[in-house]
Amino acid sequence: MTTENVTTETVTGETDLDRARAAFQRELLVEGLLVATEVPGLYGRSGVFEDIVDGIDRVVVAAGPGDAATRLRFPPVFPRSSFERTDYIASFPNLTGAINTFAGSNRDHARLLADRADGQSWDRHLEPTDTMLVSAACHPAYARYTGVLPEGGVLLDIYGFCFRHEPAIDPARMQAFRMHEFVTIGDAAAARAHREHWIERGLEVLGRLQLDATPVIANDPFFGRAGKMLAANQREENLKTELTVRLYGDLDEGTAIVSSNNHLDHFGVNFDIRTAEGEVAHSSCVGFGMERIALSLLRTHGLDVAAWPTSVRERMGI
């Protein structure tokens, strides 16, 4: 939020950008493409919106590695033991989703219900479970590769829901959204090459959808003071490139809809993954933000899918 190019601020603190985001959200809800809930950043999707997402996925998969990759699909929750190894709680505590449940007796439950009947919070009657919400689509995958990789490493195709606790009006900032990732785990050169390849290839995918995207050197939104240094390092070492689309004209610097990232040996060290040659594995991934690409299409080609360019619809198969 700090890098936003805020143009006009009213007395209420509302900016042109805030208004543009709220207006886009309203359009999507009025058109019935998204369904409002009582929580900002959480939406139901209409059938039409889902058709768009599935159409995007066909274009993504067509550009992808096909049978050369191992397809893996994970549910939206994953083991706390894996979450711990990602170090996510150190870097993005504010986006985290930890899962609690009730594990007490009949009598404990009666106490919970008494609090509830009094209009009080009943969370104190819950306990942490051994699961967490999936933070990035690839996070549940690394634990599978603890040990020694096959010769040449592995290439993965992963598609699933991610959770980020960041309530927002901007429809492009959802709390729950899908990410389709292609991930390599191998030696340092393979991780670098995969990342480079997917900057170009990602631009091609977006070109096929007739989206006007720009590659931008970027950093993750690391938390707090220590996070500022991590972010600076990530930029300096050129580890993250985002493909951005301007959903709100020149009111901000654009919205990242694809991200190509070199993790270096972060997951290799934390999940104890080694190459066939005995080195600590490196990894990199490209992530396609499916809802954000859908929103870019709706913003670029209009809310009426029937009126989109024929070539785009044909490629998407919708």
Q: Which of 94, 91, 27, 77 has its CA nearest to residue 248?
A: 27
Q: Residue 302 Cβ, how far from a copy of itself at the closest point, in Å?
A: 21
Site track 148-177 with a copy of itself (rule: CB under 8 A), x = hit: ---------x---x-x-x-x------xxxx
Is 316 in a helix, a strand, or coil? helix
Q: Which is nearer to a copy of itself, 37 or 311 (CB)?
A: 37
Pick one of 26, 58, 62, 102: the residue that binds a copy of itself (CB under 8 A).
102
Pick one of 9, 50, 200, 304: the residue that binds a copy of itself (CB under 8 A).
50
First to last CA, the chain: 35
Q: How far apart are alpha carbons 40 and 55 in whole angstroms? A: 26
Q: Which two tokens stand for residue 129?
A: 């479970």
Q: Which is nearer to a copy of itself, 208 or 223 (CB)?
A: 223
Q: Which two tokens stand for residue 310?
A: 């024929």
By the rule CB under 8 A, 37 interacts with a copy of itself:
yes
**7 Cβ contact list (under 8 Å, min separation 6):** 15, 16, 17, 251
Q: Residue 98 Cβ, how far from a copy of itself at the closest point, in Å?
A: 5
Q: Which is nearer to a copy of itself, 175 or 241 (CB)?
A: 175
Pick one of 19, 29, 31, 46: the residue that binds a copy of itself (CB under 8 A).
46
Q: Which is nearer to a copy of itself, 147 or 225 (CB)?
A: 225
By the rule CB under 8 A, 65 interacts with a copy of itself:
no
189, 152 Cβ separation under 8 angstroms: no
Give the number of C-alpha atoms closer than 13 A to the C-alpha of residue 275, restricted to the C-beta side: 18
Q: How far apart are alpha carbons 86 and 240 in whole angstroms? A: 17
Q: Residue 188 Cβ, how far from a copy of itself at the closest point, in Å?
A: 26
Q: Which two tokens stand for residue 17?
A: 């950008």
By the rule CB under 8 A, 118 interacts with a copy of itself:
no
Q: Which two tokens stand for residue 62?
A: 């067509």
Contacts (CB under 8 A) with a copy of itself, residues 195-254: 223-225
How does DSSP classify residue 125?
Answer: G
Q: Which is nearer to a copy of itself, 161 or 231 (CB)?
A: 161
By the rule CB under 8 A, 96 interacts with a copy of itself:
yes
Q: Which is nearer to a copy of itself, 70 or 210 (CB)?
A: 70
By the rule CB under 8 A, 17 interacts with a copy of itself:
no
Stretch of residues binding a copy of itself (CB under 8 A), selected from 87-95, 204-212, 240-248, 296-304: 87-95
16, 7 Cβ separation under 8 angstroms: yes
Q: Which amino acid is at 158?
A: I
By the rule CB under 8 A, 289 interacts with a copy of itself:
no
Q: How far apart are alpha carbons 195 and 252 in whole angstroms? A: 26
The continuous run of DSSP H or E covering 129 comes out as strand 127-133
Pick one of 73, 152, 212, 238: the residue that binds a copy of itself (CB under 8 A).
73
218, 3 Cβ separation under 8 angstroms: no
Is 77 in a helix, a strand, or coil? strand
By the rule CB under 8 A, 58 interacts with a copy of itself:
no
Footprint of a copy of itself on this chain (CB under 8 A)? 35, 37-39, 42-47, 49-50, 70-82, 89-90, 93-104, 106, 109, 112-113, 116, 121-123, 126, 128-131, 133, 140-141, 143-144, 157, 161, 163, 165, 167, 174-177, 223-225
